[in-house]
A and B are shown apart, each in its own frame.
Chain A
Amino acid sequence: MKDAMPQLATDEGRPVADTLAQSPLAIRGMTVSYGEEPAIFSIDLTAEPGAMTAIIGPNGAGKSTLLKAALGIVRPLSGRATVFGKPLAKQRARIAYVPQRASVDWDFPTTVMDVALMGLSRELGLLRPVRARHVTRALACLDRVGMADFADRQIGQLSGGQQQRVFLARALAQDAELYLLDEPFAGVDAATERAIIVVLKELRAEGRTVVAVHHDLSTVAQYFDNVFLINRRKIAEGSVETAFTAANLQEAYGGRLATGQIDQLVLGTV
């Protein structure tokens, strides 16, 4: 399938077979189109185990689409994703996904505890009753993001930052090995941003893999180990030191970032 696509993404020439088998998330030749123009085109991505990777690129670059395609939420025209070397369908229990906060209706009649319990839904199945131990686990996850006191609140009564933390708690309840987050810091307060990054770094310390769509270039070097630059096509992939460069940013963002801005961002990382 990939052979049919023109090879526009750069190939690092790394031993593909090895990384495919080991990588928590390996995407190959992924192309997604919503209309006539492809939203993402022939994307290859290989997430490093136990590391934090930021997917960055300008608005409309296809960052969220890439995550959704990797999770099978949108159907790609071509390409595939493997999770720990196996097809996605058999690995769902090893993945936790935090969608964009704005993608759901927070007016939905449900409580903070209920949302956290949704993280246990694979374990609960269709009809198994929620037991005290499930509630205890969900509460522990809420506690980890500082939301345990809000367990009985309706989710619409929370601030944006609190809602984002509840989403993270739901993902924590999944106890996954691979965490995929879509803009976890978008529109949250400073305290929430700190709370979230602390939890993500804890996950990394536990050997779990984090891949997050990230929009704030000024914090990339501070928060993440690796970057994946995308603007519909893959621009670059690698450690912050090697891939988060002025040339790559210039290519990804084009004229949208002033040269002075880019210098500041990149120099700040050295």
Chain B
Amino acid sequence: MIGAEFMALSLPPLLIGTFAAIACALPGNFLVLRRQALIGDAISHVVLPGIVVAFLVTGRIGTWPMMLGAAGAALIAVGLIELIRRLGRVDAGAAMGVTFTAMFAGGVLLLEQSDTSSVHLDVQHALYGNLESLIWLEAAGWESLLDPVALASLPPELTRITVTLVAVVAFIRLLWRPLKISTFDEGFARAQGVPATILGLALVVTAASAAVAAFDAVGSIIVIAMFICPPAAARLMTERLEAQIWWSVAFACLSAVLGYVLAGYGPLWLGGQNSVSAAGMIATVSGMILAATALFAPHRKAS
């Protein structure tokens, strides 16, 4: 029965991939417009050692240890950047570059040195996630969606990313006006009494939460791609921020679904034997969408 197989093997990864893509693309719209797009990249690098340390301390991969570890790593990163900037007398960009790559490398070293064989946490996981392994064994068909026992065995990553997505949507919906105004004209926003610094920080924290939740399930490749590609492609489709948000959601969904399907079946169609990484394919599709919009979209820049 195709329904049962789809529910068990494909529905959870599809949902997780799609939700992760949307949760990253939504704040990505603002980050791209604020010329802070690489913050997503930076976050996904910085949090790795935090997550590894959290695992080493608690011995398991749980939501709270992971979030706390990631938040701690982010704080250390901010402190390090400031320290390097002051002591080394280099500009902020250079200090960030050094910190992020060094912390990611530290995370990779930690991973290799520690015994993480009991759980699915290794370097490849950090990059590509484990989307294909997030399966729902209890699913017997569509009726399982109404069966509490079966629902309880859904992968925990799905719950995490769903909660994160709801929080991201709520943040952007509630603070839509101040976010939009302070992204366009920060001076005017401040003069109006909008706490632009706190709002900017809240946006980064929101993006970081999305990055950490997505990182666990789909790895840092998707996180980096989804912060930038769907919003950048969406910008070329419209001249209105409201419409841009919807386009970015559509592109994120398209990347996730098409990427997952192509990764699973694409090589077979081409006569190959094995499937390829879903995370890698999702990121590739989002890049191809961006390339297509850059060539054909209605609101490309004139020159």
Known: A126-B174, A126-B177, A154-B239. A108 touches B191 (CB 8 A): no
Q: How far is the CA of A173 from the CA of B103 in the complex (A)?
A: 49
Known: A73-B190, A99-B185. A121 touches B177 (CB 8 A): yes
Q: Is the CB of B240 within 8 A of A121?
A: no
Q: Is the CB of A72 within 8 A of B190?
A: yes
Interface presence of B3 (CB below 8 A):
no
Interface presence of A68 (CB below 8 A):
yes
List CB contacts (< 8 Å) of A57-79 with chain B: 68, 71-73
Q: Interface size on A (CB < 8 Å)? A: 30
Q: Is the CB of B177 within 8 A of A108?
A: no
Q: Is the CB of B174 within 8 A of A108?
A: no
- The dominant DSSP class at the A interface is mixed
Q: Is the CB of B191 within 8 A of A127?
A: no
Bitwise interface map of B from 168 to 195 toward A, beta carbon under 8 Å scored 1, else 0? 0000001111101101110110111100
Interface presence of A95 (CB below 8 A):
yes
**Closest B residue to A96 using CB positions:** B191
Q: How far is the CA of A72 from the CA of B238 in the complex (A)?
A: 34
Q: Is the CB of B174 within 8 A of A127?
A: yes
Q: How far is the CA of A115 from the CA of B181 in the complex (A)?
A: 9
Q: Is the CB of B33 within 8 A of A71?
A: no
- The dominant DSSP class at the B interface is helix
Q: Is the CB of A99 within 8 A of B188?
A: yes
Q: How far is the CA of A104 from the CA of B188 in the complex (A)?
A: 10
> Taking the nearest CB of chain A, how far is it from the CB of B176, in angstroms?
8
Q: Is the CB of B187 within 8 A of A99?
A: yes
> Could you say which interface size class chain B belongs to?
20 to 34
> Taking the nearest CB of chain A, how far is it from the CB of B164, in angstroms?
22
**Closest A residue to B245 using CB positions:** A109
Query: Which residues of chain A are within 8 angstroms of B235 by Cβ–Cβ distance?
Result: 109
Interface presence of B109 (CB below 8 A):
no
Query: Which residues of chain A are within 8 angstroms of B183 by Cβ–Cβ distance?
Result: 108
Q: Is the CB of A97 within 8 A of B188?
A: yes
Interface presence of A14 (CB below 8 A):
no
Query: Which residues of chain B are within 8 angstroms of A114 by Cβ–Cβ distance?
Result: 240
Q: Is the CB of A110 within 8 A of B240?
A: yes
Name the residue among B178, B239, B241 with the largest chain A CB count within 10 angstroms.
B239
Known: A124-B177, A126-B178. A109 touches B188 (CB 8 A): no
Q: How far is the CA of A72 from the CA of B191 in the complex (A)?
A: 7
Bitwise interface map of A from 107 to 125 toward B, beta carbon under 8 Å scored 1, else 0? 1111100110010011011
> Taking the nearest CB of chain B, how far is it from the CB of A96, in angstroms?
8
Which B residues lie at the A interface, using CB under 8 A?
Answer: 33, 174-178, 180-181, 183-185, 187-188, 190-193, 235, 238-241, 243-244, 301
Further contacts, 14 of them, CB under 8 A, given A92-B192, A118-B181: A71-B191, A72-B190, A92-B191, A97-B188, A99-B188, A104-B185, A108-B183, A110-B184, A110-B241, A111-B240, A125-B177, A127-B174, A154-B240, A180-B191
Cross-chain pairs A/B with CB under 8 angstroms, 28 sampled: A68-B187, A71-B187, A72-B191, A73-B187, A89-B193, A92-B192, A97-B187, A103-B185, A104-B184, A105-B184, A107-B301, A108-B184, A108-B241, A109-B33, A109-B238, A109-B241, A110-B180, A110-B239, A110-B241, A118-B181, A118-B188, A121-B181, A122-B192, A122-B193, A126-B174, A126-B175, A127-B174, A156-B239
A-B CB proximity, top 5 nearest: A97-B191, A154-B239, A99-B187, A92-B193, A71-B191
Which A residues lie at the B interface, using CB under 8 A?
Answer: 68, 71-73, 89, 92, 95, 97, 99, 103-105, 107-111, 114-115, 118, 121-122, 124-127, 154, 156, 170, 180
